[in-house]
Each structure stands twice: as C-alpha cells, then as structure tokens.
Structure 1
Amino acid sequence: MKILFCGESFPEARKQLDALLPNDEILAFPPEKIGPHIKEADVVVPLVTRVDETIICQGTFGLIQQFGVGLESVDIEAATKHGVRVARIPSEESGNAASVAEHAILLMLMLSRKWNVITAARKEGTKVPWGSPAGQALRGKTVCVVGLGGVGRELVRRLSGFEVQIITVDDHPGRFVPGIAISRSCSLAGLQESLAYADYVVICINYTPDRFHLIGEREISSMKPGVFLVNVARGGLLDQDTLLKALRSGHVAGAGLDVYWEEPVDMGHPLFSENVIATPHIAGVTDVSYEGIARAFAENMRRYASGEPPLYLANAPASPRAIKPRV
C-alpha cells in the first residue's frame, strides 16, 4: 500500500513505521504539494493538514488514519458521505496520554520555578544572588484540569503525588479516576466557576469546532490573579489575544504552551515576549508514545489491507470504499 503523510513534520513517526511496514510505501509531502500524490494513495495520514471534501474526491483512498488522536482537521461528514473510513489512535492505549501528562507537569514546574527568569539571566550573563529567584511549590495548590479524557486522567494520577487539590471540568461528568480524590468535579457548564478556585489551569480537553476559544475573555477574567495557564490539547481552545492581554496585565502570571492557533507558529508573535514557556508540539513525542502509536497504526494497516474494519473508527460509512487491488 501507499501511505501518504500530509506533511513532513513528526519525522520519527515515519521512521517507526518503516520498520513495522516494510512492504508498504510511506510518502510525505508538505501540504501544498500533496495534491498530485492523492490519486496514488491508499491511506491518508492528515497530521495537522486539512483533509476536506475536495481532497477526498481527488483520491480513491478508503482510509484516513491519524497518527495520534486529533481529527479536527478532517471533514468526517464528507469522508462518511464518500465511503472513506476515518480512524484515530486513542491516547491511553498508545502511551501518548502518559507522555502528554508528563509534559504538562514539566510546563507547570518550569513556570513555578521561574525558568524564564533563570535562562534570561544565564543568557545575559547577569549575576543573580545565589539561591534566587524563589519559586512556587505545587504542594497545597489547586489545579483545575479541563478535560478528563485520556490525557486528563493520566495527569490527575500524576498530580496526586504532588499533594495538590484537584478540580476537574469535563464534558462527561460521570468520569472519574479510580483511587484519586477529586476536590470538585463539574460539567462544562460550571467551567467559569471552577476556574476561579485554581492556581493552575491545564487544558486537556478534546477540540471540536464548538469549543473554539473555550478559554476566552470571560473564562480568563474569572481566574485568580497570578494563575498559571497550560495548554497541551489544541491551540484553538485558547484565545491567544486575550491571553496576551492577561499576561501583560499580570492577571495570568505565565503560560505553558505546546499547541498554538497556527502550526508551525510564528515565534515573533508578541505573546512570546511575555512569560511563556513554549514547546513545539512535542508533548506526545516520546519513545513510549511513538512506539505505541506506531504499533496500533501498523495493526490498522494490516486490517485494512486484509479487508477487516480498522480499529478506533470515528465513522461508519454505509458503503466503504474498497482498497485498490495491489499490482
């Protein structure tokens, strides 16, 4: 089969698959150059590229398989209409959720311990008093975890060891983490009220179009002065203009971002002149995560090639496109 990656980012993903799928051809092109290669693809991997009805109609591929969780760039309705299956790799099964949760804690700790102040002083050769600056411990603080899916649950498990108070906000209010005490749990309807209690807010929730700027002006204004805000979910969930204003005023003390309103993001944006720890969408880019995702991805390629339904489908076309016969 020919597997087309719609982008050249995340190169380690393709290296993992080369070893697992030696009989398949893995192609990768930047988004603006995928057009001529759509017709030859059996499987399309969107990454962060928009796969809409135009692209779907240009090809004969029968499967859109994400290398990971996010499907916000895929027109699932159009795919279903044209008989194209769409699948993802759940984060908990692959180890991705654990990796992202670890990264969220890394961002929290870097903000707490004033990492930007330390690195700026070192870069400028500034002499600072030994034992300075004083940081903030997580112990005794309140953390609001927005989204209790795979990443959120893994984050809550890890946060419990830091002796913090945990608040959860979720679109499935019945979800919980076995053995972990949650101080307060509510639905999305209670988001603003819950944010008011938090010293740290971590965005982990899945992105859908109706959640564009879920954390906007009303939500940020309801947070405590001096709050730290972390986003390891999707950039569209957070209003970057409102965040910039809040950072400049000091209402938000700092932000840890691994995802952005556009990717790759322009690092010349004024937001990055504030107290922001910025990483290039690498929260889930670890050995454990990539190995787990690659294994699940390869299994779905095997299933698809043999005529079996792929696992972890996000749709169910009435008349799925058949795989093209191998030459």
Structure 2
Amino acid sequence: MKEKAFVLATDPFDDTALPELAGTQLHILPDLRSETYRPLMRRAHVFVVRSGAPVPRDILDDSPNLLGLVRHGVGLDVVPMDAAKRLAVPVANTPGSNAQSVAEYGMMVMGMLSRRLHIADATLRQHGWNTAKARVGRAHDLSGKSVGIVGLGEVGSRLARICHMGFGMQVLGHQRRPNALAEFVRPVTLEEIFERSDFVVLACPLTPETRRMVSQPRLRAMKPSAFLVNLARGELIDTDALLAALDSGGIAGAALDVFDQEPLPPQHPFFASERLILTPHLAARTCESDMRTSAVAARQVMQLLRGEAPQFLVNPSAWAASASRRVAILERLAGS
C-alpha cells in the first residue's frame, strides 16, 4: 500500500483547504517544544509554519525527507532561512493573502485612537456616562490628517489607498526599494515620517536594519499629538523608549498587535497604559483571510509533493540545488 506524504504543520489549516490536502497525511503539532518537533520532522515531506513563534533554528538539520517549507503567512523572520539556504530547502510563503485584513485592522485602530474609543468604552463600563464623556474630551477627525507608512508592500499600499480614498488623509511613504508609488503617496525619508505624521504606521518586514527602528530619538521627533500603529513585528520598536514616550506624553498613544515577547506576559507594563490599544497578534486573522491564506499554502504544499516549484518560492537557488534530493524523495514516495 502506498504511503501518504507526511505534511507537518504548526497550526491547523482552514477547513476549506482540507480537500486540497486530502491525499496527504496531515499532522498538526500539539505544541511548539523542540522535543515535539524533532521526531516528526524526520518523517515530514513538507513543513508548514504558521505560528508567530520562531521554529527552532536547527530543526531542518535532521529532516532527511523534507521537500520544502511553506510559510502560512508572509513574514519570514520565523523561518530558519539561513539553515534553508545551507541545506538547500525550498521555502515558499503566501504574499498578499492577508493584506486586506491587516490593512483594514490598521484603519480601524487609527479611528479608535483618534476618537479615543478604547478609553470611552472602558470608562463607560467602570464609571458611567458622564465620566466617560469627560475623559474622552476632544476627539479628532481622520480627514486632513497625515499618515506616514513605513513599508509600502501589499499591506502598506492597501492601507495608503484606504486612508487617502476613503478618509481624505495625506499619505507619506517610506520604503527600502525605490518601487513606483501611487500618485497620492508622497515619498519621504524615515526621519520625515516620524517628524511630520499624525499617524506613523509600521508595515515593513523585520530585518537587521529595521530592528528597533522606533528608537528614543525617533519617538522624540514625533508630534505630541501623534499616534504609532504597529502592524508588522514587535521587534521594530524599542519597548522601553515607547513606554517612556507614552508616560511622558511625548506621543498621544499607540496601537500594537505585535510584541517582542509573545504571548505578552500578564504583568507587562503595557497593560498599565490607557494610551495603548493592545491586541494579541490578530490583525491578519479573519475568516476570509484564513481561507485565502490556507488555500495558497495548501496549493503550494501539493506543488512541492508533485515535484513542482511552488508558486511563491522565495529562495530559487535552493530549488535548483535540491534537485537530486527531491528526485530521490519523490521516488521513495512513489515506490512505498
């Protein structure tokens, strides 16, 4: 009897993607401990990484049957890319599949910050109508305000369009690569983003260059009335510097969906600040986004199992270098 290909995943797929994987043996990791991973990785033909927690950096070293790794999402900082390069393991991701959901989240928390809705809700529940109205004070429209977006990829570009077309905001943009920007996005330096924006939105990848980019000097350059929104990775922000800026009134507030520690520890000082909107890394998590992302991830799993280059291969050199190993693994699967 032919053995089914073994697909190992850190998290479940959306149910709508399961028919695509029906011919495989799909196993979901019960936890993210290294000792749980290792024996299963020796059997895995495709490894699917969804969780925001990085996988063990050496996990690919003892994966003799691995045809490739699929990132169920976009960010590659949770994937051991150095090991994938060294061992010639093809890696694919799912760009754009959750971009609309993250962009909509960004727009929503900007509105909440501007209208101080998080403060209104908490105060109304605890202290009543009049106190809530008094504490909210003077809220502001979004129209006419400036939003500075760091990273004009899929998420940043969609958010820029929503801000400009839907709310009449002025859009400033900064990106690493000099790609063409929409005509309504004014390209500026990173320093100008922090100095001139009413909202600074982080939508860029985590790299050695962007780590802790939101530093004390850049926070000090922001307007006291400005807000910070992080849609990308927690490590982009110097946490101590942000807390100091919030406590001193150096900035008006922030909305954070990602953190340098996840899950966020229960006693973290962020919880004491009413200037913050905090959510548990869920900007991309909608029913529609899960369906789109799972569909793209499942399709690429099956491409790898058929010996085809996945649609969104991020390291093409590994595909060429893994040719002989791929043939041997697929022959063993076909003959089992």
TM-score (norm 2): 0.88
Paired position in structure 2 for 1:83: 88
Q: In the alignment, does 2:46 pair up with 1:43?
A: yes
> Is the contact made by 2:92 and 2:311 (CA closer than 8 Å) also made in structure 1?
yes
> Is the contact made by 2:88 and 2:321 (CA closer than 8 Å) also made in structure 1?
yes
Paired position in structure 1 for 2:175: 170
1:52 deviation in Å? Answer: 5.1
Paired position in structure 1 for 2:197: 198
Structure-2 change in CA distance of 1:212 and 1:129 (3 Å): closer
Structure-2 change in CA distance of 1:121 and 1:291 (3 Å): same
1:150 deviation in Å? Answer: 0.6
What are the equivalent positions in structure 2 for 1:58-137 lying under 5 Å apart?
A: 58-60=62-64, 61-91=66-96, 94=97, 96-128=98-130, 133=136, 134-137=138-141
Paired position in structure 2 for 1:140: 144
SS of equivalent to 2:27 = strand
Structure-2 change in CA distance of 1:263 and 1:130 (3 Å): closer
* Coordinate RMSD, CA, aligned: 1.9
Specify the code of the residue in structure 2 equivalent to 1:103. Answer: Y
Paired position in structure 2 for 1:271: 270
Q: For this pair of structures, how many residues does the alignment match?
A: 314
Structure-2 change in CA distance of 1:130 and 1:35 (3 Å): closer
> Is the contact made by 2:14 and 2:290 (CA closer than 8 Å) also made in structure 1?
no
Q: Distance in 2 between matches of 1:205 and 1:116?
A: 26
Structure-2 change in CA distance of 1:129 and 1:221 (3 Å): closer
Q: List alignment gaps of at least 5 residues for structure 1.
A: none
> Is the contact made by 2:151 and 2:203 (CA closer than 8 Å) also made in structure 1?
yes
Specify the code of the residue in structure 2 equivalent to 1:156. Answer: A
> Is the contact made by 1:18 and 1:26 (CA closer than 8 Å) also made in structure 2?
no
Specify the code of the residue in structure 2 equivalent to 1:185. Answer: P
Q: In the alignment, does 2:255 pair up with 1:250?
A: no
Q: List alignment gaps of at least 5 residues for structure 2.
A: none
Structure-2 change in CA distance of 1:146 and 1:181 (3 Å): same
Q: Distance in 2 between matches of 1:264 and 1:219?
A: 26
1:89 deviation in Å? Answer: 0.8
More helix by share: 2
Paired position in structure 2 for 1:181: 184
Paired position in structure 2 for 1:22: 22
Q: Considering only CA atoms, is the larger Rg found in Structure 1 or Structure 2? A: 2
SS of equivalent to 1:176 = coil
- Percentage of identical aligned residues: 33
1:312 deviation in Å? Answer: 1.1
1:223 deviation in Å? Answer: 0.9
Specify the code of the residue in structure 1 equivalent to 2:117. Answer: W
Paired position in structure 2 for 1:292: 292
